[in-house]
Amino acid sequence: MNERYSGPQIVLHWLSAVLVICTLSLPYAQDLLADLLGGSGDVFTLHKSLGLSILLLTVLRLLLRARHGTPQRLVDSASWQRLAAKLGHAALYLLLLAMPLSGLLFGKRPVELFWLLTIDPLPVSDTTRALARQFHLTAKYLLFALILGHACMALWHHYRLRDGVLRTMLPRR
């Protein structure tokens, strides 16, 4: 078992973090970015494109995690810490998969993937669209909370426990 996450795992983690923050921020920055991007519709084109990119990155991250596992020092943690970490990571991964999928489900118009490729709306009932929309809009708050908790726990490990857990996900110096 490794002492650190693999290089690709680290790169995909931090790339995902940046994309998630950007994607979650875009709807709130719509007024600021609409002129820059050519209108509010283009803000949501970028939001949806980034969301689908996160979906792809999350699948890749899960495949890499299955192949490379997690660092040994995480396995050596107390059982309640391992359980909390597993539940937290599972919830994060689940939302990183479910949020883009729910966004695809509730859209009635085609999605332009980075203005290059058009994805037609999925043929689902209005009830399914409404449920997907409600899930998408509600789950973002759970995602906010999980991200904040994830960051706080990483900092707690680094500054309070000084156990090197945060360093397992940082690039080598």
The pLDDT of residue 74 is: 61
Please name which of 22, 9, 24 lies closest in space to residue 103, comparing C-alpha atoms: 24
Residue 6: Cβ-neighbour burial (10 angstroms; 0-12, 13-18, 19+): middle
Average pLDDT over residues 49-73: 93
Nearest to 53 by CA among 92, 89, 22, 88: 22
Position with higher pLDDT, 167 vs 72: 167
State the pLDDT confidence band at 76, using cuts at 50, 70 and 90. Answer: low
CA 99/CA 160 separation, integer angstroms:
33
SS (H, E, C) 100-113: HHHHHHHCCCCEEE
Percent share of the chain, pLDDT over 70: 97
pLDDT at residue 17 greater than cutoff 80: yes
CATH number of 7-163: 1.20.950.20
Domain ranges of the chain: 7-163
Q: Is residue 39 predicted with pLDDT exceeding 90?
A: no
Mean pLDDT for 123-141 is 96
Q: What is the pLDDT of residues 82-126, one digit of tens each?
A: 899 899 999 999 999 999 999 999 989 999 999 999 999 999 999
At 151, the pLDDT band (50, 70, 90 cuts) reads very high
The per-residue pLDDT for 48 is 95
Are 113 and 53 contacting, i.e. CB atoms less than 8 angstroms apart?
no
User: Can you give the pTM of this predicted structure?
Assistant: 0.90
